[in-house]
Amino acid sequence: MEATRDQLDAGTEDLVLRARQRDADAFAGLIRRYERVALSVAFSVLGNADAAGDVVQDAFLRAWERLGDLKEPARFATWLCGIARNLAIDVHRRGRHVKLSIDAAGSTAASLVEDRWPTDPADELDRREQQAMVATALQSLDEVTRPAVILRYYDGLSSKEIGEVLGMSPAAVDMRLSRARQQLKTLLAPMEQALKS
C-alpha–C-alpha distance, residues 146 and 181, integer Å: 11
Site for another protein in 156-195 (CB under 8 A): 156-161, 164, 170, 181, 184-185, 188-189, 191-192, 195
Size of the site for another protein (CB under 8 A): 71
The residue among 69 and 120 lying less far from another protein, judged by its C-beta, is 120
Site for another protein in 38-67 (CB under 8 A): 38-40, 43, 49-50, 52-53, 56-57, 59-61, 64
C-alpha–C-alpha distance, residues 113 and 90, integer Å: 30
The residue among 72 and 192 lying less far from another protein, judged by its C-beta, is 192
The residue among 18 and 64 lying less far from another protein, judged by its C-beta, is 64
Q: Indicate which single residue of 94, 121, 143, 197 sits in contact with another protein (rule: CB under 8 A).
A: 121
Task: Tell me the closest approach of the beta carbon of residue 9 to another protein, in angstroms.
Answer: 6
Task: Tell me the closest approach of the beta carbon of residue 17 to another protein, in angstroms.
Answer: 18
Residue 36 is a binding residue for another protein (CB under 8 A): yes
Site for another protein in 141-160 (CB under 8 A): 149-150, 152-154, 156-160
> Could you say which DSSP state residue 181 is in?
H
The residue among 8 and 175 lying less far from another protein, judged by its C-beta, is 8
From residue 1 to residue 20, what is the string marking binding to another protein with x (rule CB under 8 A)? ---xxx-xx-----------
Site for another protein in 62-81 (CB under 8 A): 64
The residue among 57 and 89 lying less far from another protein, judged by its C-beta, is 57
Q: Are the C-beta atoms of residues 132 and 139 closer than 8 Å to each other?
A: no
Q: Are the C-beta atoms of residues 84 and 54 closer than 8 Å to each other?
A: no
Nearest to 91 by CA among 99, 102, 101: 99
C-alpha–C-alpha distance, residues 81 and 168, integer Å: 14
Q: Are the C-beta atoms of residues 26 and 64 closer than 8 Å to each other?
A: no
Reduce the DSSP state of residue 184 to 3 states and report it.
Answer: helix
For 80-114, give one letter per residue: b (16+ CB within 10 A) or e. Answer: bbbbbbebbeebbeeeebbebeebbeeeeeeeeee
